[in-house]
């Protein structure tokens, strides 16, 4: 059975909103977009590349899909190490507003019941499915018990508000630390297995 693995960049206070660009997601008046880039080093870049290249396919929410589909098909040469697998491998998109056919090669909608679709995908042969970004989808998969691992890069930064990875839903969820490393920038790269994973 394939695993479902979430890959996230997160602040110390759990925020995942707009890590890459100032104008990536200003919802709710978020003004700290682009907070993540300064925390990259060789170790974390290798971690990102290994995660993307090690996937058997990707699960994406609508927002992440739209950002990726606008960038990766025409990515510059120096980004091809990530663009090649992202463009070639299957992409399964959770959305109630998009319609097929999707414009990015090898992308398709999960359908109305994303949980049932992911359960079916997990039973298929193939490599693990990686969720990149897509915090709403991660929250749903975690609540449904469909997430096997969380791979987090936790930056030594507090932004005081914004979209957080974990919902305030009162649920108690135990995780097991499977691996951790500290980067030269002070970020922590941690892999947590869910108790069901």
Alpha helices in the chain (DSSP H): 42-53, 62-71, 80-88, 114-123, 135-143
Domain ranges in the chain are: 4-194
Beta bridge pairs of residue 6: 131, 150
Q: Residue 197: its pLDDT value, please?
A: 43
Q: Decide: 60 and 95 in contact? Cβ < 8 Å.
A: no
- How does residue 56 score in pLDDT terms, banded at 50, 70 and 90? very high
Q: Residue 151: its pLDDT value, please?
A: 98
Number of Cβ within a 10 Å radius of residue 167? 13
Given CA atoms 137, 142, 145, 149 in this order, what sign does their dihedral have? Answer: positive
Beta bridge pairs of residue 91: 58, 107
Q: Residue 69: its pLDDT value, please?
A: 97
| pTM recorded for the entire structure | 0.95
pLDDT at 161 over 80: yes
Number of Cβ within a 10 Å radius of residue 132? 24
Average pLDDT over residues 93-107: 95
Q: Domain 4-194 carries which CATH code?
A: 3.40.430.10
Average pLDDT over residues 63-70: 95
Average pLDDT over residues 7-13: 97
pLDDT at 140 over 80: yes
Q: Decide: 53 and 21 in contact? Cβ < 8 Å.
A: no
Q: Decide: 194 and 177 in contact? Cβ < 8 Å.
A: no
Give the Cα separation of 108 and 48 in Å (integer).
24
Mean pLDDT of the chain: 95
Under DSSP, the state recorded for 100 is S
Number of Cβ within a 10 Å radius of residue 95? 18
Average pLDDT over residues 173-180: 95
Give the Cα separation of 128 and 6 in Å (integer).
11
Q: Is the peptide bond before 101 cis (omega within 30 degrees of 0)?
A: yes
Return the SS3 of 85. Answer: helix
Q: Residue 196: its pLDDT value, please?
A: 56
């Amino acid at each position: 059975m394939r695993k479902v693995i979430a890959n996230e960049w997160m602040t110390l206070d759990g925020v995942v909103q707009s890590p890459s660009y100032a104008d990536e997601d200003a919802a709710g008046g978020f003004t700290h977009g682009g907070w993540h880039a300064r925390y990259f080093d060789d170790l974390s870049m290798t971690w990102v590349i290994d995660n993307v290249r090690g996937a058997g396919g990707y699960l994406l929410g609508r927002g992440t899909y739209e950002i990726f589909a606008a960038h990766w098909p025409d990515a510059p040469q120096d980004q091809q190490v990530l663009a090649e697998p992202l463009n070639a491998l299957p992409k399964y998109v959770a959305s109630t507003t998009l319609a097929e056919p999707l414009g990015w090669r090898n992308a398709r909608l999960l359908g109305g019941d994303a949980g049932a679709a992911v359960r079916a995908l997990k039973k298929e042969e193939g490599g693990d499915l990686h969720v990149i970004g897509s915090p709403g989808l991660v929250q749903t998969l975690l609540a449904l018990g469909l997430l096997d691992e969380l791979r987090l890069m936790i930056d030594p930064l507090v932004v005081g508000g914004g979209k957080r990875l974990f919902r305030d839903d009162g649920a108690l969820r135990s995780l097991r630390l499977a691996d951790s490393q500290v980067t030269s920038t002070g970020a922590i790269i941690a892999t947590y297995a869910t108790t069901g994973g």
